[in-house]
Structure 1
Amino acid sequence: MTIYFYKVWQPFGCFSNFSPHGIEIHGIYWSTVEHYYQAQKFVGSVDAVIIPVIRAATTPEEAAALGRCSSRKLRSDWDLVKTQVMREAVFKKFFTHTDIREILLNTGNEVLVENSPTDYFWGCGADNTGQNHLGKVLMSVREDLRQLQLLTVFSVDCLGEKG
Protein backbone atom coordinates (compact mmCIF):
# COMPACT_ATOMS: atom_id res chain seq x y z
CA MET A 1 0.00 0.00 0.00
CA THR A 2 1.37 3.40 -0.98
CA ILE A 3 1.54 5.95 1.82
CA TYR A 4 0.52 9.46 0.78
CA PHE A 5 1.39 12.47 2.91
CA TYR A 6 1.11 16.21 2.48
CA LYS A 7 -0.29 18.42 5.25
CA VAL A 8 1.23 18.38 8.74
CA TRP A 9 -2.13 17.69 10.40
CA GLN A 10 -2.91 14.68 8.18
CA PRO A 11 -1.71 11.10 8.77
CA PHE A 12 2.05 10.89 8.25
CA GLY A 13 2.21 14.69 8.45
CA CYS A 14 5.61 14.38 10.11
CA PHE A 15 6.98 13.52 6.65
CA SER A 16 6.16 17.07 5.53
CA ASN A 17 8.99 19.61 5.50
CA PHE A 18 6.61 21.92 7.34
CA SER A 19 6.39 19.63 10.38
CA PRO A 20 7.60 21.27 13.62
CA HIS A 21 10.80 19.24 13.95
CA GLY A 22 13.84 21.47 14.16
CA ILE A 23 17.26 20.51 12.90
CA GLU A 24 20.78 21.68 13.56
CA ILE A 25 23.12 21.67 10.60
CA HIS A 26 26.65 23.10 10.67
CA GLY A 27 25.99 24.47 14.15
CA ILE A 28 22.93 26.46 13.10
CA TYR A 29 19.42 25.64 14.32
CA TRP A 30 16.52 25.70 11.85
CA SER A 31 12.88 25.51 13.00
CA THR A 32 11.87 23.19 10.16
CA VAL A 33 13.36 21.47 7.15
CA GLU A 34 11.48 24.00 5.03
CA HIS A 35 13.31 26.91 6.68
CA TYR A 36 16.67 25.26 5.99
CA TYR A 37 15.85 24.23 2.43
CA GLN A 38 14.53 27.64 1.38
CA ALA A 39 17.54 29.43 2.87
CA GLN A 40 20.01 27.16 1.10
CA LYS A 41 18.75 28.44 -2.26
CA PHE A 42 20.68 31.65 -1.65
CA VAL A 43 24.02 30.47 -0.25
CA GLY A 44 26.76 32.33 -2.11
CA SER A 45 24.30 34.31 -4.25
CA VAL A 46 23.90 38.06 -4.40
CA ASP A 47 20.71 37.63 -2.38
CA ALA A 48 22.36 35.71 0.49
CA VAL A 49 21.25 38.50 2.83
CA ILE A 50 17.79 36.89 2.84
CA ILE A 51 19.12 33.76 4.61
CA PRO A 52 18.82 35.06 8.20
CA VAL A 53 15.38 36.47 7.37
CA ILE A 54 14.23 33.04 6.18
CA ARG A 55 15.78 31.41 9.24
CA ALA A 56 13.89 33.82 11.52
CA ALA A 57 10.56 33.33 9.72
CA THR A 58 7.77 32.63 12.19
CA THR A 59 6.26 29.77 10.18
CA PRO A 60 7.44 27.35 7.49
CA GLU A 61 4.83 28.90 5.19
CA GLU A 62 6.52 32.28 5.63
CA ALA A 63 9.95 30.72 5.03
CA ALA A 64 8.63 29.08 1.86
CA ALA A 65 7.16 32.35 0.59
CA LEU A 66 10.46 34.15 1.20
CA GLY A 67 12.42 31.43 -0.57
CA ARG A 68 10.07 31.29 -3.54
CA CYS A 69 10.17 35.00 -4.31
CA SER A 70 10.93 35.11 -8.02
CA SER A 71 12.73 38.47 -7.86
CA ARG A 72 15.64 36.97 -5.87
CA LYS A 73 18.69 35.40 -7.49
CA LEU A 74 19.25 31.74 -6.57
CA ARG A 75 22.70 30.24 -6.16
CA SER A 76 24.11 29.21 -9.52
CA ASP A 77 24.33 25.50 -8.72
CA TRP A 78 20.88 25.19 -7.15
CA ASP A 79 19.44 22.74 -9.67
CA LEU A 80 22.48 20.52 -9.18
CA VAL A 81 22.45 20.51 -5.36
CA LYS A 82 18.83 20.94 -4.29
CA THR A 83 18.09 17.24 -3.95
CA GLN A 84 21.22 16.66 -1.84
CA VAL A 85 20.39 19.70 0.30
CA MET A 86 16.93 18.24 0.91
CA ARG A 87 18.33 14.80 1.66
CA GLU A 88 20.79 16.17 4.24
CA ALA A 89 18.01 18.06 6.03
CA VAL A 90 15.52 15.18 5.95
CA PHE A 91 18.14 12.75 7.24
CA LYS A 92 19.03 15.13 10.07
CA LYS A 93 15.34 15.53 10.98
CA PHE A 94 14.67 11.81 11.27
CA PHE A 95 18.03 11.06 12.88
CA THR A 96 17.41 13.72 15.53
CA HIS A 97 13.77 13.01 16.40
CA THR A 98 13.31 9.42 17.58
CA ASP A 99 9.50 9.61 17.65
CA ILE A 100 9.18 10.36 13.96
CA ARG A 101 12.14 8.12 13.09
CA GLU A 102 10.06 5.21 14.39
CA ILE A 103 7.09 6.31 12.29
CA LEU A 104 9.30 6.38 9.19
CA LEU A 105 10.90 3.02 9.95
CA ASN A 106 7.50 1.48 10.65
CA THR A 107 6.42 2.20 7.07
CA GLY A 108 8.35 -0.93 6.10
CA ASN A 109 8.99 -0.97 2.38
CA GLU A 110 5.90 1.00 1.41
CA VAL A 111 6.21 3.62 -1.31
CA LEU A 112 6.05 7.13 0.16
CA VAL A 113 4.47 9.85 -1.95
CA GLU A 114 4.16 13.55 -1.28
CA ASN A 115 0.58 14.15 -2.38
CA SER A 116 1.10 17.73 -3.47
CA PRO A 117 -1.38 18.84 -6.11
CA THR A 118 0.95 21.61 -7.29
CA ASP A 119 4.49 20.25 -6.99
CA TYR A 120 5.60 18.01 -9.85
CA PHE A 121 9.24 17.83 -8.73
CA TRP A 122 9.03 17.07 -4.99
CA GLY A 123 5.50 15.68 -5.11
CA CYS A 124 3.20 13.67 -7.36
CA GLY A 125 1.28 16.63 -8.75
CA ALA A 126 -2.46 16.85 -9.33
CA ASP A 127 -2.50 13.99 -11.83
CA ASN A 128 0.04 11.72 -10.12
CA THR A 129 2.63 12.26 -12.88
CA GLY A 130 5.07 14.19 -10.67
CA GLN A 131 8.59 12.95 -9.90
CA ASN A 132 7.97 12.55 -6.13
CA HIS A 133 11.54 13.40 -5.18
CA LEU A 134 10.59 14.07 -1.55
CA GLY A 135 9.08 10.60 -1.28
CA LYS A 136 12.23 9.15 -2.84
CA VAL A 137 14.41 11.08 -0.38
CA LEU A 138 12.34 9.77 2.54
CA MET A 139 12.61 6.18 1.31
CA SER A 140 16.37 6.58 0.91
CA VAL A 141 16.69 8.08 4.40
CA ARG A 142 14.56 5.24 5.74
CA GLU A 143 17.03 2.73 4.30
CA ASP A 144 20.02 4.64 5.70
CA LEU A 145 18.43 4.69 9.15
CA ARG A 146 17.87 0.93 8.94
CA GLN A 147 21.52 0.41 8.05
CA LEU A 148 22.58 2.59 10.99
CA GLN A 149 20.38 0.53 13.32
CA LEU A 150 22.01 -2.66 12.05
CA LEU A 151 25.49 -1.20 12.55
CA THR A 152 24.58 -0.11 16.08
CA VAL A 153 23.25 -3.56 16.95
CA PHE A 154 26.30 -5.19 15.38
CA SER A 155 28.68 -2.87 17.25
CA VAL A 156 26.98 -3.51 20.58
CA ASP A 157 27.04 -7.27 19.95
CA CYS A 158 30.71 -7.22 18.98
CA LEU A 159 31.76 -5.07 21.93
CA GLY A 160 30.05 -7.50 24.27
CA GLU A 161 32.03 -10.50 23.00
CA LYS A 162 35.13 -11.80 24.73
CA GLY A 163 38.09 -12.05 22.41
Structure 2
Amino acid sequence: MTIYFYSTRGEYGSFSNFSRHGFELDGEYWPTTEHYFQAQKFLETEHCDQIRQAKTPKDAAEMGRDRSRPLRKDWEQVKDDIMRKAVLCKFETHADIREILLATGDEEIVENAPGDYYWGCGKDGSGKNMLGHILMEVRDILCRLG
Protein backbone atom coordinates (compact mmCIF):
# COMPACT_ATOMS: atom_id res chain seq x y z
CA MET A 1 0.00 0.00 0.00
CA THR A 2 1.18 3.52 -0.75
CA ILE A 3 0.53 6.35 1.69
CA TYR A 4 -0.44 9.61 0.01
CA PHE A 5 -0.49 12.95 1.83
CA TYR A 6 -0.72 16.56 0.80
CA SER A 7 -2.56 18.88 3.18
CA THR A 8 -2.12 19.20 6.94
CA ARG A 9 -5.48 17.47 7.45
CA GLY A 10 -6.09 13.76 7.78
CA GLU A 11 -4.16 10.89 9.33
CA TYR A 12 -0.87 11.86 7.68
CA GLY A 13 -1.24 15.65 7.85
CA SER A 14 1.86 15.84 10.05
CA PHE A 15 3.95 14.76 7.03
CA SER A 16 3.24 18.12 5.39
CA ASN A 17 5.85 20.87 5.74
CA PHE A 18 2.95 23.17 6.66
CA SER A 19 2.03 21.11 9.76
CA ARG A 20 2.31 23.15 12.96
CA HIS A 21 5.04 21.11 14.64
CA GLY A 22 7.70 23.59 15.65
CA PHE A 23 11.26 22.73 16.64
CA GLU A 24 14.57 24.26 17.61
CA LEU A 25 17.37 24.08 15.06
CA ASP A 26 20.53 26.14 14.49
CA GLY A 27 19.86 28.06 17.72
CA GLU A 28 16.41 29.32 16.64
CA TYR A 29 12.80 28.22 17.04
CA TRP A 30 11.02 27.39 13.76
CA PRO A 31 7.19 27.14 13.67
CA THR A 32 7.19 24.66 10.73
CA THR A 33 9.63 22.84 8.47
CA GLU A 34 8.43 25.16 5.68
CA HIS A 35 9.64 28.19 7.65
CA TYR A 36 13.06 26.58 8.17
CA PHE A 37 13.44 25.37 4.60
CA GLN A 38 12.47 28.67 2.96
CA ALA A 39 14.62 30.74 5.34
CA GLN A 40 17.73 28.67 4.52
CA LYS A 41 17.64 30.04 0.98
CA PHE A 42 18.87 33.34 2.45
CA LEU A 43 21.32 32.25 5.15
CA GLU A 44 22.95 35.05 7.14
CA THR A 45 20.73 37.78 5.69
CA GLU A 46 17.80 39.71 7.18
CA HIS A 47 15.51 37.66 4.87
CA CYS A 48 16.25 34.52 6.91
CA ASP A 49 14.84 36.00 10.11
CA GLN A 50 11.92 37.68 8.32
CA ILE A 51 10.85 34.29 6.96
CA ARG A 52 11.35 32.59 10.36
CA GLN A 53 8.90 35.12 11.81
CA ALA A 54 6.30 34.78 9.01
CA LYS A 55 2.76 34.37 10.39
CA THR A 56 1.92 31.20 8.45
CA PRO A 57 3.82 28.52 6.51
CA LYS A 58 2.06 29.77 3.36
CA ASP A 59 3.52 33.25 4.00
CA ALA A 60 6.97 31.71 4.57
CA ALA A 61 6.67 29.79 1.28
CA GLU A 62 5.66 32.92 -0.65
CA MET A 63 8.54 34.90 0.86
CA GLY A 64 11.00 32.10 0.06
CA ARG A 65 9.87 31.92 -3.57
CA ASP A 66 10.15 35.68 -4.05
CA ARG A 67 13.02 36.00 -6.52
CA SER A 68 13.62 39.65 -5.64
CA ARG A 69 15.37 38.19 -2.57
CA PRO A 70 19.01 37.11 -3.09
CA LEU A 71 18.97 33.28 -3.35
CA ARG A 72 22.17 31.65 -2.05
CA LYS A 73 24.41 30.43 -4.87
CA ASP A 74 24.66 26.81 -3.67
CA TRP A 75 20.91 26.35 -3.15
CA GLU A 76 20.41 23.58 -5.72
CA GLN A 77 23.28 21.59 -4.15
CA VAL A 78 22.13 21.94 -0.52
CA LYS A 79 18.32 22.00 -0.63
CA ASP A 80 17.79 18.23 -0.19
CA ASP A 81 20.11 18.08 2.83
CA ILE A 82 18.39 21.11 4.37
CA MET A 83 14.98 19.49 3.93
CA ARG A 84 16.28 16.21 5.42
CA LYS A 85 17.73 18.05 8.45
CA ALA A 86 14.47 19.92 9.11
CA VAL A 87 12.21 16.87 8.68
CA LEU A 88 14.41 14.74 10.95
CA CYS A 89 14.43 17.44 13.63
CA LYS A 90 10.62 17.79 13.48
CA PHE A 91 10.05 14.06 13.96
CA GLU A 92 12.74 13.79 16.66
CA THR A 93 11.07 16.65 18.56
CA HIS A 94 7.46 15.37 18.52
CA ALA A 95 6.88 11.83 19.82
CA ASP A 96 3.22 11.76 18.69
CA ILE A 97 3.98 12.29 15.00
CA ARG A 98 7.14 10.15 15.20
CA GLU A 99 4.84 7.24 16.15
CA ILE A 100 2.62 7.96 13.11
CA LEU A 101 5.68 7.94 10.81
CA LEU A 102 7.13 4.76 12.34
CA ALA A 103 3.74 3.04 12.12
CA THR A 104 3.91 3.33 8.31
CA GLY A 105 6.39 0.42 8.41
CA ASP A 106 7.98 0.03 5.00
CA GLU A 107 5.10 1.54 3.01
CA GLU A 108 5.93 3.99 0.26
CA ILE A 109 5.15 7.61 1.22
CA VAL A 110 4.15 10.01 -1.55
CA GLU A 111 3.48 13.75 -1.42
CA ASN A 112 0.46 13.97 -3.70
CA ALA A 113 1.24 17.52 -4.82
CA PRO A 114 -0.23 18.06 -8.29
CA GLY A 115 1.83 21.19 -8.99
CA ASP A 116 5.17 19.95 -7.67
CA TYR A 117 7.27 17.56 -9.75
CA TYR A 118 10.33 17.82 -7.50
CA TRP A 119 9.14 17.50 -3.88
CA GLY A 120 5.88 15.80 -4.86
CA CYS A 121 4.64 13.29 -7.43
CA GLY A 122 3.15 15.94 -9.72
CA LYS A 123 -0.21 15.83 -11.46
CA ASP A 124 0.51 12.62 -13.42
CA GLY A 125 2.61 10.79 -10.79
CA SER A 126 5.87 11.24 -12.72
CA GLY A 127 7.43 13.64 -10.19
CA LYS A 128 10.53 12.85 -8.10
CA ASN A 129 8.61 12.79 -4.77
CA MET A 130 11.71 13.99 -2.92
CA LEU A 131 9.73 14.87 0.23
CA GLY A 132 8.28 11.36 0.30
CA HIS A 133 11.77 9.88 -0.11
CA ILE A 134 13.11 12.09 2.70
CA LEU A 135 10.25 11.01 4.99
CA MET A 136 11.10 7.37 4.28
CA GLU A 137 14.82 8.07 4.98
CA VAL A 138 13.90 9.80 8.25
CA ARG A 139 11.70 6.83 9.16
CA ASP A 140 14.68 4.51 8.60
CA ILE A 141 16.96 6.72 10.72
CA LEU A 142 14.41 6.84 13.55
CA CYS A 143 13.98 3.04 13.38
CA ARG A 144 17.74 2.59 13.78
CA LEU A 145 17.84 5.07 16.70
CA GLY A 146 14.78 3.22 18.09
**TM-score, structure 1 length as denominator?**
0.88
Which residue of 2 is the match for residue 38 of structure 1? 38
Which residue of 1 is the match for residue 71 of structure 2? 74
Residue 142 in structure 1 maps to residue 139 in structure 2: yes
Task: Give the superposition deviation at 1:49.
Answer: 1.6
* Range that drifts further, 23-32 or 131-140: 23-32
Matches of 2:60 and 2:102 in 1, distance apart? 28
In our comparison, the structure showing a higher alpha carbon Rg is 1
Which residue of 1 is the match for residue 60 of structure 2? 63
| 1:35-80 deviation digits (Å, cap 9, x = unpaired) | 0000001115xxx221111011110000000001122221010000
Matches of 1:97 and 1:81 in 2, distance apart? 25
Residue 129 in structure 1 maps to residue 126 in structure 2: yes
3-state SS in 2 of match to 1:3: strand
3-state SS in 1 of match to 2:24: strand
**TM-score, structure 2 length as denominator?**
0.98
Of the three residues 117, 120, 141, the one matched with 1:120 is 117
Report the RMSD for the aligned CA atoms in angstroms.
0.8
Q: Give matches, 1:2-17, under 5 Å.
A: 2-17=2-17
Matches of 1:53 and 1:71 in 2, distance apart? 14
Question: After the TM superposition, which parts of structure 1 deviate over 3 Å for at least 4 consecutive aligned residues?
Answer: none
Q: List runs of 5+ in structure 2 lacking aligned partners.
A: none
Percentage identity across aligned positions?
Answer: 57
Residue 28 in structure 1 maps to residue 25 in structure 2: no
Matches of 1:108 and 1:92 in 2, distance apart? 20
Matches of 1:134 and 1:93 in 2, distance apart? 14
Task: Give the superposition deviation at 1:10.
Answer: 2.8
Which residue of 2 is the match for residue 158 of structure 1? none
Q: List runs of 5+ in structure 1 lacking aligned partners.
A: 150-163
